[in-house]
Homo-oligomer: A and B are copies of this chain.
Amino acid sequence: MANDAYSKLMELYSEYSALGQVELLMGWDLETYMPQGAAEMRGVQSSVVGAMRHRMITSRKVKGLLREASRSKGLTEVQRSSLRWLKREHERKTSIPETLVKDMAKLEPLSTRAWIKARNENDFKVFLPLLEKVFELRSKMAEHLGYSKTPYDALLEDFEPGMASSRAANILKGLRSSLVPIVRTIADKGEPPDESVVRKGYGEKGQFDFGKRVLHDMGFDMEKGRIDTSAHPFTSGTYNDVRVTTRFDRKDLRSALFAFIHEGGHALYEQGLPKEHYGTPLGEAVSYGAHESQSRLWENQVGRSLPFWKHYAPILRKTFPNMKAVKLEQLYRAFNVVRPSFIRVEADELTYNLHIMVRFEIEKGAMEGKVDLNELPEVWDECYERYLGIRPPSVSQGCLQDIHWSMGLIGYFPTYSLGNLYAAQLMETARRELRDLDGSIEKGRFGPLLSWLRENVHSKGRLHRAEDLMKRVTGKPLGEEAFISYMKAKFSDVYGLAL
């Protein structure tokens, strides 16, 4: 009987999952090929499919089946884990009243529009009332979801399930105190790399072909995915239908290239999810942080490494004759410039995390009533001064630069930094467990690394929580040490400094 309830739940979840894939397709199409004039229709389509999915997972039928299934003895670890995720999804979705869901859906286009206007006009006041409304609704949501210590926990749970925000705060604090002096030293004493060597002008076709080749070499399966262009690079889809996008900057080689590799890392994760759990709660990526760990690992630890460019520099020179005279060392340095800057999405691997901390502290503070959104611009600028040693010249280049809050995405930012830390810890372990990892990367052979990630991360789906998985794989709880020693080693090398 109980097993019967379990299979009914799994059948139901497979439909829920299939509808989720349909949502992904609509989202992908919206960003790539959809005609401009179709925006309103797409909005209706999305809300209909979204409402159906919501009804599916919150139904009384699911509630009854969950009760029945959980009573059963003799469930396997897989079954227990599946039920846990499904129950969590059911309870979180059920706990939020429909009126609140609708209010948030109604607010999003308005707040996004206000944010765009405010940023264009460099006028924080245009955005403020909407921003306050966003935080107000998210606070209500947190109350409905419940939490033990801070309402921020309830929101973070959406992106990094099982991670308490106090834990995230501790980790990021440790990270910050190690990072700030490194950034200072480089800013004060480092000789800036010559970036002109990667700003020589590059045709789109060459950039596409080169990026596609790298993706192919990494192990991205083009039979089960595709590459397109969009205003902002992203990865969408799962399993046998994973689509990445990039965009081209004809002046700067780095823009498209590292987007390719970054999105490729996301894509490999999705293509590597466990086949036996496709369409079940376990057949999904375990957290946003874990997802970001895969993109960052490939983009930074692999794609910006010297061994990687030992292999690709000759191919790059063949693709772009204007790169003929550029030396390997020059490339490597140009791909690893560190420089405190105002804009997060343009930040380097090292300072990036400081951008995140500013946002994390502010959004957590605001949820806890410790940061007054009226004073956001001043709070923001002071944080930048403190962490990065620079002060944004305008709100557009300051607290209005990110779309996240306007979309209600509070609790998302820390997963970017957690991803960096996961990546470093994974790479440290892979380096220990695989024989001569750099040697294979130097030959353009990524098979050993990919197999290791497949086995240890991708194929686990959501069997364990993200941090438990990391601990199982790396033998250590999540911390900043691996990342810091990676940063020190790399930038000592790039800048010839003792960090």
* Chain A residues packing against B (C-beta within 8 Å): 14-15, 18-19, 21-22, 25-26, 29, 33-38, 40-42, 44-45, 48-49, 52, 221-226, 228, 239-241, 243, 279
**Residues in chain B near residue A18, CB distance under 8 A:** 41, 44-45, 48
The chain B residue sitting closest to A33, CB to CB, is: B226
A355 CB to nearest B CB, Å: 35
The answer to whether B223 touches A36 (Cβ under 8 A) is: yes
CB < 8 Å neighbour of A44 from B14, B34, B45 = B14
Residues in B with CB closer than 8 Å to A49 are 19, 22
What are 15 A-B pairs with beta-carbon distances under 8 A?
A15-B48, A18-B48, A19-B45, A21-B45, A22-B22, A22-B48, A22-B49, A25-B45, A29-B29, A33-B226, A35-B240, A35-B241, A36-B224, A37-B223, A37-B241
CB distance from A36 to the nearest CB of B (A): 5
A462 to chain B, nearest CB (A): 19
Which chain B residue has the least Cβ–Cβ distance from A42?
A: B241
A26 to B38, CA, bound (A): 15
* Contact indicator A41/B241 (Cβ below 8 Å): yes
Query: Which residue on chain B has the smallest CB distance to residue A238?
Result: B41
In the bound assembly, the distance between CA atoms of A426 and B463 in angstroms comes to 64
* Residue from the list B37, B52, B241 in contact with A38, Cβ < 8 A: B241
Of B15, B26, B37, the residue contacting A240 (CB under 8 A) is: B37
A35:B223 contact, CB within 8 angstroms: yes
Distance in Å: Cβ of A98 to nearest Cβ of chain B? 16
With A21-B41, A36-B224, A41-B239 already in contact, 16 other A-B pairs whose C-beta atoms are closer than 8 Å? A18-B45, A18-B48, A19-B45, A19-B48, A19-B49, A21-B45, A22-B26, A25-B45, A33-B228, A35-B224, A37-B241, A38-B241, A40-B240, A41-B241, A42-B241, A44-B279
- Residues from chain B with a CB closer than 8 A to the CB of A222 are 35
Chain B residues within an 8 Å CB radius of A34: 241
